[in-house]
Amino acid sequence: MDSLRVTAPVTYKLKWLYRDRQQSAGGRGSARMVAGDSLRFDFAGPLGAGRGAALVIGDSLEWVQGEENLKKLVPSYPLLWAIMGLPRLPAFTEVTRLQDQSLVAWRFVNGSDTVEYARIVGPPLKLVADVRQADGRLGRVETVFGPDGSPKSSRLTVPRKRARLDITYVSSSRPNGYPPETWARPPD
């Protein structure tokens, strides 16, 4: 999993499209990440509707604006990180690893919760994540990487809601760093 880590600040600009049985909405967003485990995720729907922002450190939410909008788009932090192309090591009591020439897969189990990752060698390189809880599959993410190693697209499928979130990465940049206010909660 070390080859799929943020080693320097990175910003992704993205487009998103969410669909479930009752609605469909799309918009734009950005993700700013630094080495380690910090992610600032901003998103907005058409004409600014469905706007939200969150600061996630590891699997902990530091602050959020538009919490319901964020939960609708992404139901768990391992799935959010996988959408960004990054597997996050969850809490676990049991781990299994499998590797061959085209695949490296991990299964992390903690009680009735399971997080699985598979890194599939391409072309294209893919990261697949599957998160299950006692009552079934929470979601599945498939992220496809471009030749430069940056995410190109990602799809989250949430079976319980019959929902799908498609992300298209529009651009990526590698700034030298971010000003401290990047990590501050925006005013309401």
Q: Which domain holds residue 113?
A: 10-183
Q: The domain spanning residue 155 has which CATH number?
A: 2.50.20
- Residue 5 in any domain: the answer is no
Does 2 reside within a domain?
no
Which contacts of 129-137 are long-range, i.e. CB under 8 A and separated by 24 or more positions?
A: 129/78, 129/79, 129/82, 129/87, 131/76, 131/78, 131/79, 136/160
CB count in 10 Å sphere of residue 109: 16
**pLDDT tens sequence for the chain (188 residues):** 445 677 889 999 999 999 999 989 899 999 999 987 899 999 998 877 778 899 998 888 888 888 877 777 778 888 889 999 998 877 788 999 999 999 999 999 999 999 999 999 988 999 999 999 988 999 999 999 999 889 999 999 999 889 999 999 999 999 999 999 999 988 87
Q: Tell me the three state secondary structure of residue 181.
A: helix
Residue 66 maps to a domain: yes
The total number of structural domains that make up the chain: 1
Q: Is residue 128 part of a domain?
A: yes
**Domain-located, residue 136:** yes
Task: Classify residue 3: in a domain, yes or no.
Answer: no
pLDDT at 132: 94
CA–CA separation, 131 vs 165, rounded Å? 15
Pair 128, 111: CB distance under 8 Å: no
Domain-embedded: residue 118: yes
What pLDDT is attached to residue 2?
A: 47
Q: Please say whether the beta carbons of 74 and 81 come within 8 A.
A: no
4 within a domain of the structure (yes/no):
no
